[in-house]
Amino acid sequence: MTDTALTRAIDTYDQSLTTERAEESSTWLTAQLDRRGLFFGDRPLCTVLRPRFLTVAQYELLKSRIAPLLKAFNRAQSAALRDRGLLRQFRLTETEEQLLSAGLVTRAEAGRPEPRPMTPSPVSRLDAFFDAGDGSLRFTEYNAETPAGAAYGDVLQELFLALPGMQDFLTRYDVRPLPTRHNVLHALLRAYHLWLGRRETPTIGILDWKEVPTYSEFILYQQYFESMGVPCVIADVREVEYARGALFGGGRQIHLIYKRILINELLERGGLDHPIVRAVRDGAVCMVNPFACKVLHKKASLAVLSDERNRSLFGRDELAVIDAHVPWTRVVEERWTEHRRDRVDLVPFLHANRERMVLKPNDDYGGAGIVLGWEVTEDVWSRSVQAALTVPFIAQERIGLPRETYPSFADGQLHFADRIVDTAPFVFGGTHVDGCLTRVSTATLVNVTAGGGSTVPTFVVEPR
């Protein structure tokens, strides 16, 4: 199925939406979102009436390009854990460095003299775009710590398959959903069984602040885990206790932490004496993802991959995918570096190239702190570059953001509006892709947390 065929599929869907069908679909979807609790805070999770369509070729491209990219990430992390000079390129805090080994080594089973290392990021997600300029796939961030959206996506897929607006489309196209919750559960249990040294059903504790806007997804996960026969509690990190060599929360002992709180927030507000930190360091509980996930979660991981200083770390296939799919990225600092084989003084180069650059904090989320050079004045950009020298920031070269027209219904009318579309495939075990989150937005920052985006389900489609 070519790009032309994909356009034809989108047109087929959109043309079937009369005002009456759009109103029926919108009314039905709103009621279902409310019934299932699909809200991000107080905002509906999805505000458009068409799902994201991917061709088989696009989805296969994602998987084939990500495999060597993941090898490059894993190679960089392994090398950094052996080489403190390389580790410094990721710009971890001193406390984060202290915790790198906590929870990363499994319990030693009787008769096995050496414990086995765990995967630093059993559950992760890449954020990417199909570049509007040449259609190439460009990876802009790696959420290796606490990727959200898999449970939301699964439920939205169920709803959109029953959406009145999908009825006619399903007679003309095969529509394949990309469910992901089962992979999250498998990754959690695989990590726990490796850590424990034997197969045993744990009680999972989903841990975060109770006021976070993603709390509704925690409930979806709890319902799913328990439907699969795995006990699960949701607990606020301020209310857990570590006593008698065990971690407790929600009135239960927790054996396996599904960590949704960000490590930097946990450390800033709880410190090294927090019950979760002590329990993980003592080997009293398994945590997914473990503290070592922080290395690749730092946005500087893209800089480590694309920096000419590190090319000797990677094999030929890995370098090919880095060069083709990772935008030029550097940690903001006073140094000389290469840009497209030209040697440049980095800070003056950033000052002179505002309209082609983005500044991002090394460790934040929801679009916080991001400065888009082409959307600010020279003065604001100059001050932002100078400020980025004082705390860890990266600079990343601008890519062409793809747009698609999406239908919605408001004020009694059917509307079609161009929206920027991102592509965020889920990664499991640090090795393979299964499933994909899609967010669409009228704002340049395509992020639901930032308030500018809508989550839509993703389907692979082919003509019947």
Same domain, 63 and 99: yes
Same domain, 386 and 342: yes
Asked if residue 118 is part of any domain, the answer here is yes
Report d(CA 107, CA 438) in Å as an integer.
38
pLDDT in tens, 400-414: 999 999 999 999 999
pLDDT in tens, 424-433: 999 999 999 9
Report d(CA 81, CA 77) in Å as an integer.
6
Share of the chain above pLDDT 90, in %: 83
pLDDT in tens, 104-150: 655 544 444 444 567 899 999 999 999 888 888 999 999 999 999 99
Asked if residue 303 is part of any domain, the answer here is no
Same domain, 347 and 422: no
Query: At which of 397, 425, 450 does a domain end?
Result: 397
> In DSSP terms, which residues pair with 254 in a beta bridge?
247
- Give the residue among 186, 188, 180 at the shortest CA–CA distance from 206: 188
Same domain, 262 and 335: no
CATH (domain of 381) = 3.30.1490
Same domain, 165 and 256: yes
Same domain, 372 and 455: no
pTM (two decimals):
0.92
Report d(CA 351, CA 343) in Å as an integer.
16
What is the domain count for the chain? Answer: 2
Q: Which of 194-198, 382-386, 402-406 has the highest mean pLDDT?
A: 382-386
Name the residue range of residue 390's domain. 328-397
Same domain, 441 and 336: no
Asked if residue 314 is part of any domain, the answer here is no
Same domain, 109 and 243: yes
pLDDT in tens, 229-252: 999 999 999 999 999 999 999 999
Query: At which of 359, 377, 397 does a domain end?
Result: 397
pLDDT of residue 365: 72
Same domain, 40 and 119: yes
pLDDT band at residue 103 using 50, 70 and 90 as cut-offs: low
Same domain, 371 and 266: no
The contacts of residue 279 (CB under 8 Å, 6+ apart) are 242, 246, 247, 285
Same domain, 68 and 208: yes
Q: Are 283 and 107 in contact (CB under 8 A)?
A: yes
pLDDT band at residue 451 using 50, 70 and 90 as cut-offs: very low
Same domain, 74 and 192: yes
Asked if residue 21 is part of any domain, the answer here is yes
pLDDT band at residue 366 using 50, 70 and 90 as cut-offs: low
278: tokens are 């002590």
pLDDT in tens, 43-64: 889 999 999 999 999 999 999 9
Across 333-344, b (16+ Cβ under 10 Å) vs e yields beeebeeeeeeb
Asked if residue 442 is part of any domain, the answer here is yes
Asked if residue 166 is part of any domain, the answer here is yes
Q: Give the number of other CB atoms < 10 A from CB of residue 60.
A: 12
Alpha helices in 162-259 (DSSP H): 181-196, 215-227
Query: At which of 366, 397, 428 does a domain end?
Result: 397
pLDDT band at residue 449 using 50, 70 and 90 as cut-offs: very low
Asked if residue 309 is part of any domain, the answer here is no
Asked if residue 306 is part of any domain, the answer here is no
